[in-house]
Amino acid sequence: MAECAGDGAPKRVFVVPEKLIKSPADMELWTMSECYYDLLGFISSMSVALQGTRNTQKMSIPPVVEKLIKVLDRLEQLAIETPPVDQPARFGNVAFKSWYQKMQSESMQLVSDALPDHLKDAAKELCVYFVDCFGNSTRIDYGTGHELAFIMFLMCLFKIGAVERNDEVVIGLKLFQKYIILARKLQVTYRMEPAGSHGVWSLDDFQFVPFIWGSAQLAVNSPIEPAQFVEEKWIEKYKMDLMFVGCIDYIQQVKTGHFAEHSNQLWSISAVPQWSKICTGLIKMYQKEVLSKFPVIQHVYFGSILTLKTVKPGTMLPSPRLGMIPRQAPSAPAVPAPPKFSGGEGM
C-alpha cells in the first residue's frame, strides 16, 4: 500500500527485495515478467545512448552519480586497507571475506548518503542489489549474476527518479566503467574464481555487459573494424577510450597464450563485419546464456521496484536500433524510456 506524504500525495513504500525464482519451473515467470522486459529495455536503451561515445570524453556529472563514484572509491580504499593474506591455496584469497564484511557494513549508509533526501527510504531496497554485485564471500567467486545485480542497481536508480534518461551516457561511461574497474581489481587482488563452471559461458571469465555496451559505442564512428580489436597497436591506442577494447586489454593482461585459444568466442566475434551486428548478437547471446540460466536467475532479487508482475499480453521484447545516433528529441524513440512509478501506484 502507498502511504500519504505530508503534502497529501501518496508516498512510495520501499521493501527489502527477496529471491523468488525457487526452481527451474519458475523461469517462465521470470521471462514473462516486467523486470525481464525492463532489463532488456534498459540494456537496449543504454546501447543506443552510448553509440559514438568515448570513455574519456568530458561531461557534466550529476550529484547522485558523483556521490556513487565516490562510494566506489571508498570500496577501493577498503581493498587497499585489506591486502591479500599468505595462504596455501592459489585462488580465493580469504582476505576477500574481510573486505566483503567491511563493504557490507558500510553500504547502507553509503547508498543512503548518495540518494537525494526524498529518496533515502529507497536505500534499503537498492542496497540489496549493491551488496550483491561484488561477488560471493563464501565461494570467493564473481560472475555474470553479480554483474547483473549492478545492472539492476542502475535500473533502480532510473526507475525511482534518482537519475534521468539524459544521464544514460554518464551512467555508462563513468559509473558503470568505475564499477567494472573496481570489480577487476577485486578479481585480481583476491584471486577470485569465475562463478559457474564456464565463467561467463566462454565469452569472458567474469563480465558480459561491457562487451554489449562496448560494441554499441563502436556502432557509430568507430575508429577500428571488428577484425582489428585483437591487434596490439589498437589495444594500446584505444584501451582507455573504448569499453570493448578495455575488456580485451584486461583479458590480455590476465591470460597467456594465443587469443584464439583462451578466448575463442571473442576471437570468432572479430569475424563479424559490423559492430552493430556484434552488439545485437551479444544481446541475444546474453538472453540465452545468462538470463535464461536458472543457476544465475535463482539469485536475482525482486521487490517493489523490480517485480515479477507479468507483462501485458502482446508486449514486444525491446531491442536496440543501432548504426545511427538518434536526434536529441526524436518523435519516436528507438527504445522506450524505463517506466517510472506513478505517484498513486500501490505495492
266 pLDDT band, cuts 50/70/90, is confident
CATH of the domain at 204: 1.20.120.1150
In a domain, 309, yes or no: no
- Each residue's pLDDT tens digit, 275-285: 999 999 999 99
Q: Is the pLDDT of residue 215 over 90?
A: yes
In a domain, 315, yes or no: no
259 pLDDT band, cuts 50/70/90, is confident
Radius of gyration of the chain (CA): 20
**Structural contact between residues 283 and 40, judged by C-beta atoms closer than 8 angstroms:** yes
**3-class DSSP state of 231:** coil
**Structural contact between residues 144 and 200, judged by C-beta atoms closer than 8 angstroms:** yes
11 pLDDT band, cuts 50/70/90, is confident
In a domain, 347, yes or no: no
pLDDT given for residue 284 in this prediction:
96
Q: Is the pLDDT of residue 18 over 50?
A: yes
In a domain, 338, yes or no: no
User: Which residue segment(s) compose the domain that 294 sits in?
Assistant: 22-302
Phi–psi pair at 324, nearest 5 degrees: -150, 145
Q: Extract the C-alpha cell encoding 159.
A: 526507475
What is the count of structural domains for the chain?
1
- Check the CA dihedral 104-109-112-113 and report its sign: negative
202 pLDDT band, cuts 50/70/90, is low
pLDDT given for residue 334 in this prediction:
43
In a domain, 314, yes or no: no
In a domain, 2, yes or no: no
Lowest mean pLDDT among 67-71, 94-98, 200-204: 200-204
Q: Is the pLDDT of residue 257 over 60?
A: yes
**Structural contact between residues 110 and 133, judged by C-beta atoms closer than 8 angstroms:** no
In a domain, 102, yes or no: yes
Distance of CA 32 to the CA centre of its chain: 21
DSSP result, 307-335: --PBPPTTPPPP----SSPPPSS-SS-SS
pTM metric for this prediction: 0.90
In a domain, 93, yes or no: yes
Interhelix angle for 95-114 vs 123-131, to 10°? 150
CA nearest neighbour of 98 among 147, 131, 137? 137
